[in-house]
Amino acid sequence: MLKQTEKRPVVLAIGGHDPIGGAGIQADIEAIGSNGCHAATVVTCLTVQDTCNVRKLIPTPVEILLEQARAVLSDCLVSAIKIGLLGNAEAAQAVADLIGDHPRIPVVFDPVLAAGGGSDLANDRLLQVIRSDLLPRCHLLTPNTHEAFRLSGQNQDFDPDRCAQTLLESGARAILLTGTHDTRDAHQVIHRLYRGGEPLWLSRWPRLEGEYHGSGCTLASAIAAALGHGCSLTDATQHGLAFTWSSLEAGFPVGHCQKIPERYLKRSQPGHSQA
């Protein structure tokens, strides 16, 4: 349980812009703000997309991205960093180097590799940099089953434990493998938190109907905010899952395809028990 500090914790969100406002930096700002932190933001790329799919990705020049992030990090006491869509290997390398310079700041990385509508948002070079340079510097990786499968290079039937083990061996310190896309269980979603040397931690939620745009961003940002408040990894994870489930349950349509999460619900601050 955490005390509220007088100063609002600053969480640096690094990710892409989604003009629909469901995913990406806007999702981060909403989730981080609703969890009692201030979001500082560095946009890795613009996108052209709607609620159905991503059509185009326009990267920010890497030197600008780095200059912006360094300005934030030298001016503010950043309590946590959340990383989302990177878009290309150069951005991933720059972000890996940047967080390597700030090893004490907890980093939550949502490895966005594809859009909900199916567009591929990562090539092999980006995957390679993520595996070799980014994973070992992150405190928590929050892949869904597709992302875990791809990142771990598994080429047989999906086995969550084996995927997580491979990612831990790549240097990731903790992996929250989200279970939404694992539809073997029609009624519940099981999220799994793996940490080297610690027992597996499970969190079960009633399965919600439909698909949501920005659920992964919401989850990783809410966890980063809770870490920014000083929560332990398991408390922050449980808080982030509860926040996200409530946001999805109250999700609303804005376009023709996926709904977007309602992240402006009134709720308690991280570290205080959830209903």
Contact set with ligand PLP (CB under 6 A):
15-16, 18, 23-24, 47, 49, 54, 84-85, 112, 115-116, 213-217
> Distance between CA 23 and CA 172 in Å, rounded?
24
Hey, what are 63's tokens?
């030197």
Q: Which of 90, 100, 113 is nearest to 44 (CA)?
A: 90
Q: How far is the CB of 228 from ligand PLP (least distance, A)?
A: 19
Query: What's the one-letter identity of residue 234?
Result: T
Instruction: Select 216 or 271, whichever has its Cβ closest to ligand PLP.
Output: 216
Instruction: Select 129 or 220, whichever has its Cβ closest to ligand PLP.
Output: 220
- How deeply is 118 buried, as exposed, middle or buried, from its count of CB atoms within 10 A (0-12, 13-18, 19+)? exposed
Q: How far is the CB of 23 from ligand PLP (least distance, A)?
A: 4
Measured distance between the N- and C-terminal CA atoms of the chain, rounded to whole angstroms: 15
Handedness of CA 52, 30, 32, 209 (dihedral sign): negative
Instruction: Select 123 or 232, whichever has its Cβ closest to ligand PLP.
Output: 123
Spell out a b/e string for 72-105, using b for 16 or more CB atoms within 10 Å of the CB, else e.
bbeeeebbbbbbbbbbbbbbbbbbbebbeeeeeb
Q: How far is the CB of 19 from ligand PLP (least distance, A)?
A: 9
> Distance between CA 111 and CA 146 in Å, rounded?
10
Instruction: Select 219 or 230, whichever has its Cβ closest to ligand PLP.
Output: 219
Query: What's the one-letter identity of residue 52?
Result: C
Q: Which of 70, 139, 146 is nearest to 115 (CA)?
A: 146
Instruction: Select 15 or 179, whichever has its Cβ closest to ligand PLP.
Output: 15
Instruction: Select 59 or 165, whichever has its Cβ closest to ligand PLP.
Output: 59
